[in-house]
Every structure is written in C-alpha cells, then in structure tokens.
Amino acid sequence: MRWGKVIDHDRCIGCHACSVACKQENGVPLGSFRTWVKYVEKGTFPEVRRHFAVLRCNQCENPPCVAICPTAAMYRRPDGIVDFDSEQCIGCKGCIQACPYDAIYIDPDSQTAAKCHFCAHRVEKGLEPACVTACPERALLVGDLDDATSVVSQIVARAAVRVRKPELGTRPKVFYKGVDEVCLTPDSARRPKESMWGDGRVLPLYQQPPERRVPVAPGAAGGTSAQALVAYDVPREETPWGWKISAYMLAKGIGAGSLIVGGTFAALFGVLPALPAILALIFLAITAGFLVWDLKRPERFLKILLRPQWRSWLVRGTYCILAAVLVALTWLALGFERGGPSRGEAALVGALAILTGIGAAGYTAFLFGQARGRAFWQSTLLLPHLVIQAFAAGTAALLVLDFKVVTEGSLAGYLLAAIVLDSLAIASELYSHVGTEDARQAARALTQGRLKDALLMGVWGPRFLAVLALVAYFAITILAPPARAYGAPPPNLYLPVVAAAFTLVGLGAWDHLYVVAGQDPPLS
C-alpha cells in the first residue's frame, strides 16, 4: 500500500479550510504551517485572475529528509507516509535543508522538526486526513496508489497531473491537477513588501529580475506582457543554518588542516611535533561545540551516537571527527614517549593523520549533498574545495603559532599554493555553476546581490593582502643573502604570519557567505 494525494486546483477556491483543519487537528502553533495556500495574481486590471496552490509535504517515495536525519526521527512508514518522532529529534535542522518543498519547520513549543504526516493517526483508524474532510469542494483526495480502483490512482492515470521538482528524484506522491506553473515556481512571481493580509515574504538577498520571471502564457489574463504577483504566502524561516554552522566549518577546517599539514611533514621527515596534534584537538573540540550549540535540543546530542541512522552524513561526520581525535591523541602519546617515536611510527601516524584529516574536512561535502533542497550546495567541486580550504586553514593556523618543522618558508609556500587553489575553486563555484536555476540564483546573490560587497571585502580583499604579503616575503628572502653581506637586516619573518591571519579571515568570510547564499533561493 502507498498512500498518495491529489490536489485538484480546478476545484480549489483558496478558502484555507485545509490549513485551519490541519492546525486544529494537529495543534500546529500560531505562525507555523503544515499545509498552506499560496495566492498568485496574474494579469492587469481588469483582466486579472488569482491562482491558488495548496503546498505541503509531498510524502516522497525517496524522502531526502529521512536520509539526512541522524536519529531516524524522520522515517518512512510501510504504507508510504513520511512521519516523524519528535521524541527522537535533536533539532539539527538537516531535514529542513534536505526538503526541496519547504514543508518542514521547527515547532516553537517542542523545538523539534514537524510537518504534515498525512494525519497518520486518523488514517490508521480508517479516517481521511483532516484537510480532506474539511475541503468544501473536494479538491483534496487521498487513496492507495497501488490500488488501480482508487480515485487517486484513476486521476493520476487519466488526468494531466504533475509533481513538484521531479528532476530531484524524490518521487513525490502528492499530485497537482490544474495548477498554474507560476504558483509552483518560487521565483517566477514578484514578491511585494506587503501582501494581502500583512507583511510579504520578501527574498532577503536577491530579487529575481523581471527578465528571468516566467511570463504569462499567450491568451492568459493580461497577455504576454503581464507579470505574476504573489498576493499571499506564509512566512518561513529563511536561513535555518546561520553563523554557528559557518564557525563550525572554519574551526573544522583548522583542526582537520592541522592534521593534514602536520601529517604530511611527519610522513616525509619522520617527526611528530606536538603543535599540530594540539591544534587539531582544540579546534575539533570547538567544532563539536558549535554543532551542539546549533541544535534546537542540544541535550539530546548523544542520540547521534546511541541511536545513529547510518545513512546520515551527520552521523558519519561525527565518526570522522572522532577518528581524527583518536589519531591526534595517538600522535601526542607517541610524541611524549621516552626517546620519541621511530621514523616508521611517525610516518604511519602521519599517514593516518592525513587520511582522517581529509575525512574530517571533506565529509561536509556529502552532508551538504544530502541537503537536496539547497541547489547551490550540490556541487561536485565541494569535496576537493573543502580539503583545499582545510589545508590552507591548517597551514595558516600553524604559521600564526610559529610552527617550524622544516622552515617557515616551506609553510609560506604551501600557504600561497593553497590560497591560489582555493580562490580558483571559489571562482568556479560562482561563475561556472552548471546546476539548476536555484544554484545560479544563489551565485548571483554573491556576485550581483547585496552580498557582493561582503564577497569583495571579506573574501577577495583578505586573499589579495595575503598573497601580497607572501610575495613580499619571498622577494625579501631571495634578495636577502647579498644584502646581508653589507650588514642589512634578515628577511622579515612576520610577513607569513600576517598573510596567515588574512587567510583565516578570508576563509571564515567565505564559509559564512557560502552557507547564507545557499539558503537564499525560496523553495515554495
């Protein structure tokens, strides 16, 4: 059995009975919505028509919210209903990022994720969902998609129906009949500051330009020159992940990068200086602190370890960080042994440090990949980019703390190479994105929208100053030997430290802008 739903917009009158019934039946708090009606107006007076779209959880056959949930609080029942268990939710908000349909919210009372669950408690008793019974026009219909005689199966088989975002492979089981395309394409209509009954849902960073909006089809009200206008929509949380996630990414980059850089020297030269391992332990602990701090239910954090859902990269990433911590502790234990480690032991620990450092740095690419609702994060470049960022962050942090395994100049050279590679990766993310329109819109928020100044001053500016300082350092170093014969001062070894500080600023700024811009395009 697979429960499905048909929403017949040829019948829908936009009365909100479904929304009210849902709130009453499920105790949905004020300001939150499990189902809602969006109004879009098309045409110019007097040839104007209002279109409705009933939006909600799409009860996916392949639900991305279930895959990303670290504690199986989101789960798919045998009858196809995607349900949730608030007692197991830790409030990580991963499911919100994974849902391409904007259907999940954080309940302000329980501080856990919630959404439409098909009124499973009613369905189990042979009753229809509350929204279906409340609809005066029978615009909402439910039935078994595996039963060819059910009304839903018959409509899906015979009528012109569509689902939202089929290209994502989620296989939604909510079918739309007679809906206007402009209602289901989030950025196809203008969103004024004020809507029908209050403040509008204004896009925060980048307003879609008129030439990119979906035009009115010929013959529709208002003709081809008319533009659509969102007359009513519900407020939604625009950026579920904020600065804490950005800080987590920077801290993790420093911790993982310290292991990668230190491990490289350990593998090459057979030495295990304590500083890389200490830095890794400190910043990986800070990473965990930011992750726990960002949870809506931080007291439930241990459920990730005690009740893991292994498909989730939140769970796998936790173990990647734990593996890196164990290697760092082993590093310190061997380093403080009497007589120190042998060259072979140091090389082995160094190799393990590189592997676990790459794992800790790169797992976020797969986590962001599970956030299917955010197209900008679905980049194949993200994994190598995160490893490059970690190498740059680790090198910069070690330089700031005067790390000398071989020479200061060696680390300065590695830092310069990492800055160049990281800058190329950022440029590719911004200007060569071949993803969906949502991904390109997020990139435009950085290059053309209100974030463009932050990108210039926070990302490109510090990188330019870092490269300038490193070039000056190498120039002084090259010219120093003949100059010293005449009593000139030695090369300025503080320039790499200055460059490292600017690098960390630029890395932190990019992490924050990347997280924020990825959440800019509306999902509904």
Counts for the chain of helices (H) and strands (E), in that order: 18, 13
Range from 36-50, 61-75, 278-292 carrying the lowest mean pLDDT: 36-50
Q: What is the pLDDT of residue 456?
A: 96
pLDDT(367) > 80: yes
Choose from 216-220, 236-240, 484-488 the range with maximum mean pLDDT. Answer: 236-240
- 243-518 placed in CATH 3.30.450.20: no
DSSP string across 320-332: HHHHHHHHHHHHH
Closest CA to 287 of 248, 256, 326: 248
Cβ contacts of 495 within 8 Å, gap of 6 or more: 469, 470, 472, 473, 476
Q: Which residue has the higher pLDDT, 506 or 215?
A: 506
CB atoms inside a 10 Å sphere around CB 457:
11
**pLDDT, position 434:** 61
What span, in angstroms and rounded, lies between the C-alpha atoms of 56 and 498?
51
Task: Please report which residue ranges of 59-134 form alpha helices under DSSP H.
Answer: 64-68, 94-98, 120-123, 130-134
**Bridge partner list, 142:** 5
Average pLDDT over residues 504-521: 95
- Is 348 a residue whose pLDDT tops 70? yes
Asked if pLDDT for residue 413 goes beyond 80, the answer is: yes
- 187 pLDDT above the threshold of 90: no
pLDDT of residue 433: 63
Mean pLDDT, residues 369-384 taken together? 94
- The 10 Å Cβ neighbour count of residue 113 is 26
- Is there a contact between 94 and 103 (Cβ–Cβ < 8 Å)? no
Average pLDDT over residues 392-415: 78
* pTM of the predicted structure, to 2 decimals: 0.91
pLDDT band at 214 (very low <50, low <70, confident <90, very high): very low
Domain(s) of CATH 3.30.70.20: residues in the chain: 3-232
3-state SS class at 412: helix
Cβ pair 334, 355 in contact under 8 A: no
pLDDT at 86: 96
Lowest mean pLDDT among 23-32, 396-405, 478-487: 478-487
Percent of the chain whose pLDDT exceeds 90: 69
Q: Provide the pLDDT for residue 208.
A: 47
- Please, what is the angle between helix 408-431 and helix 437-447, to 10°? 120
Q: DSSP 3-state assignment of 441?
A: helix
- 484 falls in which pLDDT band (50, 70, 90)? very low
Domain with CATH 1.20.1630.10 in the chain: 243-518
Over the stretch 116-129, which tens digit does the pLDDT of each residue have?
Answer: 999 999 999 999 99
Q: How far is residue 460's CA from residue 506's CA, in Å, rounded to a whole number?
A: 7
Dig out the tokens for 112 from the structure: 């856990």
Is the per-residue pLDDT at 19 higher than 90? yes
CA dihedral sign, ordered 433, 436, 439, 444: positive
Task: Name the strand (E) or helix (H) holding 352.
Answer: helix 343-370
Q: Which of 491, 507, 303, 493 is nearest to 423 (CA)?
A: 507
- pLDDT value of residue 197: 66
233-257: average pLDDT: 92
Residue 401: predicted pLDDT = 84
Q: What's the pLDDT at 109?
A: 94
In degrees and rounded to multiples of 5, residue 457 shows phi and psi of -80, -35
| Separation in Å, CA 434 to CA 204, 423, 428, 429, 440 | 23, 18, 10, 9, 8
In tens, the pLDDT along 302-342 reads 999 999 999 999 999 999 999 999 999 999 998 776 556 78
Hey, how many other C-beta atoms are within 10 angstroms of the C-beta on 43?
A: 18
pLDDT surpasses 90 at 10: yes
Q: Measured between alpha carbons, how far apart are the two ends of the chain, in Å? A: 29
Positive/negative CA dihedral, 63, 67, 72, 78: positive
What mean pLDDT is reported for the chain? 88
Phi first, then psi, for residue 8 (nearest 5°) are -95, 100
Look at residue 91 and tell me whether its pLDDT is greater than 50.
Answer: yes
Most confidently predicted of 237-251, 351-365, 432-446 = 351-365
CA distance 312 to 98: 11
The residues near 213 (Cβ < 8 Å, ≥ 6 apart) are 187, 188, 189, 190, 227, 228
Query: Residue with structure tokens 């010929």?
Result: 218
How would residue 185 be classed by pLDDT, with cut points 50, 70 and 90? confident
CATH fold of 3-232 reads Alpha-Beta Plaits (3.30.70)
Task: Give 455's DSSP letter.
Answer: I
Pairwise CA distance, residues 340 & 217, whole Å: 76
Query: For position 344, what pLDDT does the model report?
Result: 85
At 131-174, the pLDDT tens digits run: 999 999 999 999 999 999 999 999 999 999 999 999 999 999 99
Looking up tokens 């954080």 gives 106
- Give the whole-angstrom CA distance, residue 148 versus residue 4: 12
Pairing of strands 161-162, 140-144: unpaired
